[in-house]
Amino acid sequence: MSSLGIDQSLLSSPPANSSLTVPTAIGRGSRIPLLLAASDWMTATPAMYGVLLEHSSRGRHVLSSLLVSACIAALVVVLQVNDGAYRGDSGPLRIREVEHTIRAGAQASLLILLVSLMLGDVSLRGAVELSVCAAVSALIIEKLLLSRAICEERQATAGRGYELIKRAADLVLATLLIAALLPFGLLVALLVSLDSPGPAVFRQQRAGRGGRLFTIYKFRSMYAGAPQYAVSPDDRTDPRITRMGRLLRRTNIDELPQLLNVVKGEMSLVGPRPEMPFLVEQHEAVHRLRLEVTPGMTGLWQLSPARAARIHENPHYDQYYIQRRSFCMDLAILFYTPLSFFRGI
């Protein structure tokens, strides 16, 4: 596997100007975190209450269910406070808020499990755990609907443990998705071949981690005679795109073969978008952070409205992810991904 002629010392040093330009609002006052925490509590409590009430002998324990819901919702909020949810920045697409919520929900579920085991009472443990899931889902929906912009200046770094967990999760999830989507993939490949002459799967060299080149796989969305290495279409009316290709690019189905790249370790489910070599060679220093991590099928830039423009025009999305990435943030990005299926080009 070859690599681009990139000075590796550049990859190990921070950019000359590494400040992020993600729009945030700073200095909103000390009341804002309290209001956000109260909003989360009022969102989580009824979500949990509905689940617990369904499992409480047909409404005989209405008050006790309400009390338990309020207490556990308060626990989730406290865990978010402890995780820095109300004093950190929301991040692009408010991804950090979703990350904090997922982490707090997991911690709350673990605490409930431990307490139930210590007390020897497991009668309602399943219902309580399910109610925590309902609360987390409600909070994530709340954060998707409400606009929050609060700022946190600290940065997290990803360690070796994170890399190992992420690789294991990539391998398991990608393998399961390939097995589940294989009949669908074969159907798509047949439709691509019937729509226009040429191979169903398109292959192209891309720059991966450290500038190493690898072959990326996609369902072919352009005519076979189109130049293999050229600026990607940014409009559905581009004459290079086939009829079937318009549908594939609109729904992002053309990206599914990249699950093979994930299994091979050349890509991850979550990460910056890999670029063509000739574009990487034109990148300025501010873009070199993208080559420090494994590229991904989905990520902050891929989900953002900025996808309509070139990657190099909006580097702050990938910078933000690289400097703050974590397993919970990856889960939050994966949660967002189905919502963007129909935002392709």
CA dist 238 to 217, 223, 303, Å? 21, 11, 22
| DSSP summary character for residue 241 | B
Segment 209-212 long-range contacts (CB within 8 Å, at least 24 positions apart): 209/291, 209/292, 209/293, 209/294, 209/295, 210/3, 210/6, 210/8, 210/11, 210/291, 210/292, 211/3, 211/4, 211/5, 211/6, 211/11, 211/280, 211/291, 212/1, 212/2, 212/3, 212/4
CA dist 292 to 11, 164, 322, 339, Å? 6, 16, 8, 28
Contact 293, 12 (CB under 8 A): no
The owner of tokens 């086939």 is 242
pLDDT score of 3? 60
> 240: how many CB neighbours lie within 10 A of its CB?
14
What are 218's strand-pairing partners? 202
State how far the Cα of 314 lies from the Cα of 21, in Å rounded to an integer.
9
Maximal C-alpha separation, the chain: 71
> 307: how many CB neighbours lie within 10 A of its CB?
18
pTM of the model: 0.62
CA 179, 162, 269, 81 torsion-angle sign: positive
Rg (CA), the chain: 23
Which string of DSSP letters, residue by residue, matches 53-78?
HHTSTTTTTHHHHHHHHHHHHHHHHH
List phi, psi (to 5°) of 155.
Answer: -125, 145
State how far the Cα of 88 lies from the Cα of 32, in Å rounded to an integer.
12
Which string of DSSP letters, residue by residue, matches 273-298?
PPB-HHHHTT--GGGGGGGGS--EEE
Contact 92, 300 (CB under 8 A): yes
pLDDT score of 295? 94
Secondary structure percentages of the chain, helix, strand, coil, to 5:
60, 5, 35
Instruction: Kindly give the confidence (pLDDT) of every residue in the chain, 345 residues in length, as a single tens digit, with 9 standing for 90 and above.
Output: 556 655 554 444 444 443 333 333 333 344 557 777 888 888 888 888 877 777 665 444 677 778 888 888 888 888 888 888 877 566 666 777 888 888 888 888 888 888 777 766 656 667 777 888 888 888 888 776 654 433 333 334 456 678 888 898 899 999 999 999 999 999 999 999 999 998 999 999 999 998 899 999 999 988 887 777 766 666 666 778 888 988 888 888 999 999 999 999 999 999 999 988 888 887 777 677 788 899 999 998 888 877 766 666 778 888 888 888 888 889 888 988 887 665 555
Domain definitions of the chain by residue range: 8-14+160-340, 31-145
